[in-house]
Amino acid sequence: MTDNSKSTRYLAPVLLACAAVAPHAAEQQKQQQPLTIDRLFDAPALGGPTINALKVSPDGTRVTYLQARADDKNRLDLWEFSIQDKHSRLLVDSKLLSPTQVVLSDEELGRRERQRTAALTGIIEYSFAPSGNALLFPLDGTLFYYDLRKPSNEALLKVTPTHTTTTDASVSPRGEYLAYIRDQNIQLYDLANRHTKALTQDGAGAVKNGMAEFIAQEEMDRSTGYWWAPDDQHIAFARVDETLVKVTQRFEISADNVTTFEQRYPAAGETNAQVQLGVVDIHTGATVWMDLGKDRDIYLARVNWLPDGKTLAIQRQSRDQRKLDLLFADISTGKSRAVLSETSGTWIDLHDELTFLKDSPQFIWASSRSGYRHLYLYDYDGHLLHPLTAGSWEVDDFRARAIKAVDEKRRLIYFTATEKNPTERHLYRTSLDTRDPLHVTRITQEAGLHSINMAPDAKFYVDLFASGQQPAQVSVNDAEGIRISYLLENRLDATHPEAPYLSDNAIAEFGTLKAADGQTLHYKVFKPLHFDPTRRYPAIVDVYGGPSVQRVIDNWNGAAFAQILTRTGYVVFQLDNRGSAFRGSAFQAPLHRQMGNVEVIDQIQGARWLASQPFVDPTRVGVWGWSYGGYMALMLMFKAPEVFRTGVAVAPVTDWNLYDTHYTERYLGRPQDNAAGYAASSVLPYAKDLKGKLLVIHGMADDNVLFANSTKLFRKLQDLGKPFDIMVYPGAKHGLSSPQDSKHAYATIKRYFDENLLR
């Protein structure tokens, strides 16, 4: 289970408008307008032009990105920015190329749901040819190849027939071939001969070739199941066999029908898919299977090629997730050897920070062995040469890989980290030959979140920057941090979509509290419109609280609903409890073996602090959250009924036996080995203590946090004779991603609080 604020990948929906008011913009605005929930979801986006999937071309000549249309903020087109002439142009108009939206396959719909792109249409993903001369993208089921060297009227090649089901397309490293998945097999397309052939044949039913299984997509941040060799001669691929995974009957209840799906859902403690790793010769079709060890009950976490094209780097994670092995495998024989291993007494978080140097037999690896995630330099025999970074902070990007570029000629590495402040992200550099890992050089200076895409030669970078004072802004900068030009300035002036609302927006105030064990808890609070310190206001705790997530950050995104609430007269409070991400192992570890304990303790402490403020009415405190946040909202309502008067739980987990293996077992272990921990982590034993008003909201076609979680709670509360309220959404998945459902859900949440806290 992950939260939508990262990369692209978190469960609680992120609203792209929000946060703080820039004073100069407020002074310029001509007329204030009321902010409505409908306006949060309507075009144009309140935060300004929405840019996604920024990429610097491999040849460093252009920056490409997906941008929402002015008339439809959920439909994306493909754009490019020329580094030479510093101008942007539309490359592909998705509506012109595909004017009518098609019905996508169940496989594609599920993939988008797990990538948190289900609400988007148009072009939602693309990839570069390694030469930088071409782009590849799917659009409404059709695969297109765009040759950037040709005139725009000749540039597009339709690779697959219209509305066929193809996923996960890529261009080979030398640019001669394309690969994609169709009918659960890997297809190879020869660009010169315009010919397609299947590289695998047995994909069908429970067997999938080249595809990431549900667990990999949902919980391991791995959305692909195949990997090109650097010389175009081989493809490594996962063969997933879900035969032994328990088949569950999942009902998707729509407005006018009920559909039954047989879903292979590996619930905690049950059997996972069997995964093999093969390497296929693209010419002969011969496959060599890699040795992943005798224990087959493992996770294939990551796969990379070494620069020689003859060796695979395989990350193998144990079922209990306390051990991660890096294997090197010879693709001619399949024989593997362990290069290094990471172990933990709790769990090991997966990462993508593995980079092989091209000019020397060395690689960069990330580890949390010091208590914080840092970078280390190794040789090919697994010998540690020296640490590259160190300190009480983490190497992290918040949205993508932290390692941005390696300049081997100058022996420099560029990366993003929390060194300045855990609520911010900045770009840093250090030497590959450093002897002082505590010393790193910060390049970005402006306070906030800097998400970086760097040119392969490390001569410039693109900075997607946002803060509480600035919505998403994109600039091109040289390697020293000097701005070359704006790609998107997104200035908060009188013409900005947010301008009519800015003067009424609440400014986030940041602060810290001390947890019971002495660790620092970061919070932020939004105060009501026309705040009067002599008044006592109702307050709402906006909670997520789950692991691998951070909410309290200096960012423009994510507080749009808070602005609606503050306008109504609420104080809104967010706190990152212990267990939250990017604060080090000791901060996360208290969740081990029992969830819904220390997180609840910290949130109760935060709520008590909030209620003690002279401007808060302690008798009118509410809480709401989504997914893990929904779980937390229930726990808080049940465990602290004297604190919380009203709660709203959206798509909550109620019994961890119903959730999947990789996520749940990471923290709780298997139910067979920790029955007491599972019982204590369920909300059901505490439901008897509900005293306040409770609303539970759930999509009736949720394939992530299954609807059974809520129905199990309904039955429990009914058996206890407890009054509560329900709002369900026919046909809706976990994110309630349709604008209609989203608008209705947020309006329902607000109405519920208004009815129970304003009085």
* Residues assigned a catalytic role: 627, 702, 734
For residue 452, which amino acid is it?
I
Residues 243, 244, 245, 247, CA torsion sign: positive
**Selection from 167, 104, 168 nearest residue 140 by Cα:** 104
DSSP helix/strand/coil, 96: helix
For residue 96, which amino acid is it?
L
DSSP helix/strand/coil, 387: strand
Q: What is the DSSP string of 560-587?
A: HHHHHHHHHT-EEEEE--TT-SSS-HHH
Burial code (b: 16+ CB inside 10 Å, e: under 16) for 244-279 equals ebeebebebbeeeeeeeeebbbbbbbbebbbbbbbb
Task: Give every CB contact of residue 74 below 8 A, 6+ residues apart in sequence.
Answer: 68, 119, 120, 121, 739
Angle at 655 between CA 654 and CA 660, to 5 degrees: 110
Answer whether the bond into residue 44 is a cis peptide, omega within 30°: yes
Task: Give every CB contact of residue 45 below 8 A, 6+ residues apart in sequence.
Answer: 16, 17, 68, 73, 497
Query: Alpha-carbon distance 259 to 387, whole Å?
Result: 54
Task: Give every CB contact of residue 94 below 8 A, 6+ residues apart in sequence.
Answer: 75, 76, 77, 78, 121, 122, 123, 139
3-state helix, strand, coil in the chain (%, to 5): 20, 35, 45
Euclidean distance between the first and the last CA atom of the chain, given in angstroms as a whole number: 36
Query: Alpha-carbon distance 365 to 313, whole Å?
Result: 12
β-sheet bridge partners, residue 318: 298
Query: Alpha-carbon distance 14 to 555, whole Å?
Result: 12
Query: Alpha-carbon distance 725 to 707, whole Å?
Result: 16
